[in-house]
Structure 1
Amino acid sequence: MSTVTHRTQVAIIGAGPSGLLLGQLLARSGIDNVVLEQRSPDYVLGRIRAGVLEQTAVDLLAEAGVSRRMHAEGLPHDGVVLCFDGQLHRIDLHALTGKRVMVYGQTEVTRDLMDARGASGQTTVYEAADVAIHDWSLDGAPRVTWTAGGQSHELHADFIAGCDGFHGVCRASVPQDAITLNEKVYPFGWLGLLSDTPPVHEELIYVHHERGFALCSQRSRTRSRYYVQCSLQDKVEDWSDEAFWAELKRRLPASVAADLVTGPSLEKSIAPLRSFVAEPLRFGRLFLAGDAGHIVPPTGAKGLNLAASDVGYLWQGLVEHYRGASMAGLDAYSQRALARIWKAERFSWWMTSLMHRFPETGVTGPFGERMQQAELAYLFESKAAQTVLAENYVGLPM
């Protein structure tokens, strides 16, 4: 079988939001790029993920020229609500920091980026099989190979951006002795349900309850996303919609539960929780971004936002290289990105440890539960503590 040869400046592996955002930013900066994705467009759009955007992510989407629908349909939020001991406590994000967050689903972000990508004329290859990366050392000549439609392909590039997620080929291709993997796996998961029902509250509600954590989130004024903490042994098929709604109501204050509008699920899934960071994020001419380099538990709403800031740093470095023939930005990429990643990891770990019920053999037990209670009581009494939470929730500066 003959091989079709291609050439570009930046090869981007993965057509999730991080890969598509990087591709769009590069295209608008006059830098040619090709995006490769092993799945179909429908599969990519079918993944249900985050829905809270920091100002940094909002600004990068605007820079990429894909913010019109977000500003028209997204929901700016000035606060967030924590529920403890049956009482609602609002953290006024805007009053404490001067910033707010935007509620706009990751699926919609991806759709906007896909549409922009299609209009840009840049190449995107979906359903690319057997993707492999080669020769990405600093003095090498990077190549990506794949097959599609029974044809072999080889792409020559100056750089490779690994935006292909936790299970992708890019990080897996790095020699084990060249990378350090830091990981914490939590002893529970989140059972999530998406429904075309109005949100129970105008802002997100994070619930600390003796039966386990719950989250009332949203995607729009008519679509809601709810979660309950569950066992890792649970299976989705064991949870009927009726069982989910009943359990959620048990964990909500009576006044909130009374306002909950239930309905059939559009999607229901169980997600395990982990904290994960790979170090470094740069290997010669290969750069990892987004879930390829780090995972956060969703409690702090940082996953998509960290991916966006990675992309921002990498885009800036690539522009500096192509416009000024300097490698300084690319040389600093890993250190700059990891400094922000570890701060977000700390916040997500803290929120997860604070709001969830751990097994008796885990982090808490009776003493740990009292520590959670003391921490929450202090948080609601201290403006300084609330400011720390707010600063991290709206996003630390890049």
Structure 2
Amino acid sequence: MKTQVCIIGGGPSGLLLSQLLHLKGIDTILLERHSREYVLGRIRAGVLEHGFAKLMREAQCSERMDREGEIHEGFFIAHDGRLDRIDLHKYSGGNSVVVYGQTELTRDLYEARERMKGNVIHNVEDVYLNDIASDAPYVTYRAGDRIVRIDCDYIVGADGFHGVSRKAIPKGILREYERVYPFGWLGVLSRTKPVSPELIYAKHERGFALCSLRSQVLSRYYIQVPLEDSVEDWSDDAFWAELKRRLPAEVAARMVTGPAIEKSIAPLRSFVAEPMRYKRLFLAGDAAHIVPPTGARGLNSAASDIYYLYHGLVDHYQKGDNQKLDGYSDKALARVWKAQRFSWWMTSLLHRFPANSPYEDKLQDTDLAYLMSSDLAKGSLAENYVGLPF
């Protein structure tokens, strides 16, 4: 087989890039090691920057998002038994975010690729990147007993933190930066009415909590737990009781509880790999960087990668101009590190760190108090939360 761009990874990043390039007449083949059903079964974040929403519209995949997505112009921070609202619309110059589940977004992208007869190949095994330093790279994978070869101009690795793409960059070239946090998030999805029309981030002496939603009948809640905890340690009743303890009484009193339809624990990690390009290989999304979910930057950082890469490839194929492709890594990383800083700051502000000294706890309290007292501080938070310009 032969294509212009071979994309590895069938999550939202790879699908979005494939869709955008297709609309510009650029041929792609997308490889995914899991089934479509498996990919759509993964529960992920659902807060989209206004820039991401605009990119979905450009990809002609926004009809359901625009119809069913929740437009949020603010969120709450719960602390010391009360709620304070961050007015995103006011402090970011009129911007907002869209709350729309990643699973649904991925479903929309899959349906668009299917409708346009995009070449998406699932259940591939033993994917290997070959000759990426040459002008004629190719990808091989195993399908049953056959080894299939795809010749291409460029390879895009959008195959996540554990994928093969990043590992194809020589160790002497690749630099990795990482911080692993001493806790995780226990998340529960329930078919219940959300406790709040906007997200609630809660700082409490027992640990962080988050009240989120996927729709008016589907709620997503999280609590900070030790890394050694497992899902089996937490019954539904124990989860709801602990969540209520970390919220103001007025919020806990109106919370509707119900059986968990999905429950998982996610460890928190900050990670960046540099560079995001090596010869004919480009990295995008979790293959190159991961953030804690506190600031809702993970999926959105991937979208900015796709924006830069999409425009670079279009300029290359339509204009013979390689300036944006050549600058991709530096441009993407500049925004990635800003998202890293914001996610680290939000995580540091709102979580309980077991190893903190009383002095550090006081500084954390003071940081939150300053935020609530300063319009400039709220403006900085809002600017980052709705999304920095691409």
Corresponding residue of 2:64: 69
Corresponding residue of 1:124: 120
1:111 matched to 2:107? The reply is yes
Instruction: Give the secondary structure class of the aligned counterpart of 1:342.
Output: helix
Q: 1:196 aligned to 182, 191, 196, which one?
A: 191
For 1:134 and 1:358, the matched residues in 2 are separated by 44
For 2:272 and 2:31, the matched residues in 1 are separated by 24
For 2:105 and 2:172, the matched residues in 1 are separated by 36
Instruction: Give the secondary structure class of the aligned counterpart of 2:215.
Output: coil
For 2:350 and 2:254, the matched residues in 1 are separated by 23
Matches within 5 A, 1:11-30: 11-30=6-25
Instruction: Give the secondary structure class of the aligned counterpart of 1:167.
Output: coil
Corresponding residue of 2:222: 227
AA partner of residue 345 (structure 1): Q
Indicate if the aligned counterparts of 1:56 and 1:397 stay in contact, CA closer than 8 A: yes
For 1:150 and 1:72, the matched residues in 2 are separated by 45
How far apart are 1:340 and its partner, in Å?
0.4
Structure 2, unaligned runs of 5 or more: none
Corresponding residue of 1:46: 41
1:133 matched to 2:129? The reply is yes
Matches within 5 A, 1:317-356: 317-356=312-351
Corresponding residue of 1:268: 263
How far apart are 1:34 and its partner, in Å?
0.3
Indicate if the aligned counterparts of 2:185 and 2:225 stay in contact, CA closer than 8 A: yes
Indicate if the aligned counterparts of 1:190 and 1:271 stay in contact, CA closer than 8 A: yes
Identity value in percent: 60
Alpha-carbon RMSD: 0.7
Corresponding residue of 2:371: 379
Instruction: Give the secondary structure class of the aligned counterpart of 1:287.
Output: strand
1:296 matched to 2:291? The reply is yes
Query: Could you list the per-position Cα deviations for residues 56-104 of structure 1 after superposition, in whole angstroms to 9, with x for gaps in the alignment?
Result: 1101101100000001000000001011111100000001111000000
Query: Could you list the per-position Cα deviations for residues 334-389 of structure 1 after superposition, in whole angstroms to 9, with x for gaps in the alignment?
Result: 010000000010000000000000012xxx32111111111111111111110010
AA partner of residue 103 (structure 1): V
AA partner of residue 375 (structure 2): K
Kindly report structure 1 stretches of 4+ aligned residues shifted beyond 2 Å.
none
AA partner of residue 351 (structure 1): M
Count matched residues. 389
TM-score between the two structures when normalised by the length of structure 2: 0.99
Corresponding residue of 1:370: 362
Corresponding residue of 2:97: 101
For 2:56 and 2:304, the matched residues in 1 are separated by 11
For 2:34 and 2:353, the matched residues in 1 are separated by 36
Indicate if the aligned counterparts of 1:358 and 1:365 stay in contact, CA closer than 8 A: no
Corresponding residue of 1:3: none
Instruction: Give the secondary structure class of the aligned counterpart of 1:107.
Output: helix
How far apart are 1:147 and its partner, in Å?
1.1
TM-score between the two structures when normalised by the length of structure 1: 0.97
Indicate if the aligned counterparts of 1:12 and 1:162 stay in contact, CA closer than 8 A: yes
How far apart are 1:150 and its partner, in Å?
2.7
